Structure formats: structure tokens, C-alpha cells
Amino acid sequence: MTTRESAELAQKLGVEIDPELLALALTHRSWAYENGGVPHNERLEFLGDSVLGQAVTVRLYRAHPELDEGSLAKRRAAVVSTVALAEVARGIDLGAYVALGRGEEQTGGREKDSILADTMEAVFGATYLSAGPDAASDLVLRLLEPLLSDPDRYGAAVDPKTALQELAARRSVAPPAYEVSSTGPDHDRRFTAVVVVGDHRAEGVGTSKKQAEMAAALCAWRDLTSRA
């Protein structure tokens, strides 16, 4: 990543992150493997997952005193899900900055929910190490605020397939129809789901059939609601 790109992303994030840590956060293991086994972002992802979980847990606990433990846990799981984090990552065009190996590049890795979500977590980890826990929590909550405060968008992140089905019913079009295909060996299989709603078609990818369908549903929901 160039200095200009690093500064551009840091500006989008609104926080100062050590350039070397930011570059590491954006280094996918596929790129690291193809370049002599250099370090990649999975350790930062591990750290960022904890930063994310704590920030969202505290936010939900304080904002919803009426909810019991089970309800809070369900909301937290939805907000920190792969599908939800991928939506957040797309909002800042994070995929454009990720260093990917040739194989992932050729199979649309920059749009894969799993890669986007993992990289987003790695960025949270890099922020924690660079600017401290408060800055990292602030970044998490700033980026996730649209999901936390918008009931419709939150509902789509929680259960995109149901949200899309309800949207189709409100617009009096045929219910969503899904087709799923897969590629790759059993230990590294990738699923692609295509959903058709009325005259609209959307696609999603994932490491399981369910994840791919959820990604496709969220993509379709996002496209259709933006037209309203």
C-alpha cells in the first residue's frame, strides 16, 4: 500500500494508525504466502475481535437496560457477524486497500464477506495498538452506529433473508429465490449464492451455503432499499 493510500484510508477511519501496523492489518494470508511467508493480519484480527466485542457489549448494555442477557447476546452476535462487518467494510471501501494473493484476487476476494470482515477486525486491532483502547472503541462504535441505531438496517444485518422476504412482500413481488454453487476442494470450499427478487438479481459469497445466501440477501436488500 502506498503512502497516499495509507493516508487516504486513515482519513476515512478518522484515527491515526501506525503505517506499518495499518499495512499489516491489510495483508491477507494469501498475499503473505505468495511473498515468502511474510507476516499477515490474523494476529491483529484476533485482537480486533476482542476490541469489537467489548465495545459493542458495553454499548448495548448501556443503551438497552430493558433487555435481558439472552436478548443482549443475540443483538451483539448480529452486529459483530461476518455479514454485518462486511457491510461496514464496504461503507469505507476497505476491500480496495487489501493486499491479496493472485488466487483470491481472481475469485473476487475484495468483495468476499469473510475477507472484508476479518480485515475490519484487524484494523480495529491495529487501532488499539496504535492509539489505545478508547480510540479503538470509538472507531468501532462510529463505524457500527448505522447498524446500532437504524432498526431496519439492524434487522437486515441480523437476519437478511427474512428482511428481504418481508421487503418483497411489501412491494408485492415474488418471494426471493436462491441458487447456490460451490468451488474449490473440501477443505477450502467457496460458495456463491444468487438471489432473484422480482426483476432484481444479487450475488453473495461465503465459506458456507448459509453465509453465501445471507450475503446475497443483504446485498439485494441494500440495493432495493436504496432505490426507494
Tell me the per-residue pLDDT of 158-199, one tens digit each, with 9 for 90 and over.
Answer: 688 988 999 999 999 999 999 999 988 877 788 899 999 988
Which of the residues are catalytic? 49, 121
Tally of CA atoms within 13 A in the half-sphere of 40 that contains its CB: 19
Last residue of one domain, picked from the residues 153, 179, 201: 153
Amino acid at 97: Y
User: What's the predicted TM-score (pTM) here?
Assistant: 0.76
Alpha helices (H) in 92-208, listed in sequence order: 102-106, 113-131, 133-149, 151-158, 160-170
Cell numbers 506499518: residue: 20
Last residue of one domain, picked from the residues 127, 153, 179: 153
C-alpha 92/C-alpha 9 separation (Å) is: 8
121 is in an annotated binding site: yes
Residue 216's domain is classified under what CATH number? 3.30.160.20
Residue 90's domain comprises: 3-153
145 is in an annotated binding site: no
Last residue of one domain, picked from the residues 136, 153, 170: 153
Same structural domain, 18 and 119: yes
Same structural domain, 46 and 23: yes
Same structural domain, 125 and 50: yes
Q: Based on the structure, what is the number of domains in the chain?
A: 2
Q: What is the pLDDT of residues 112-139, one digit of tens each?
A: 888 999 999 999 999 999 999 999 999 9
Same structural domain, 138 and 191: no
Q: What is the per-residue pLDDT for 154?
A: 64
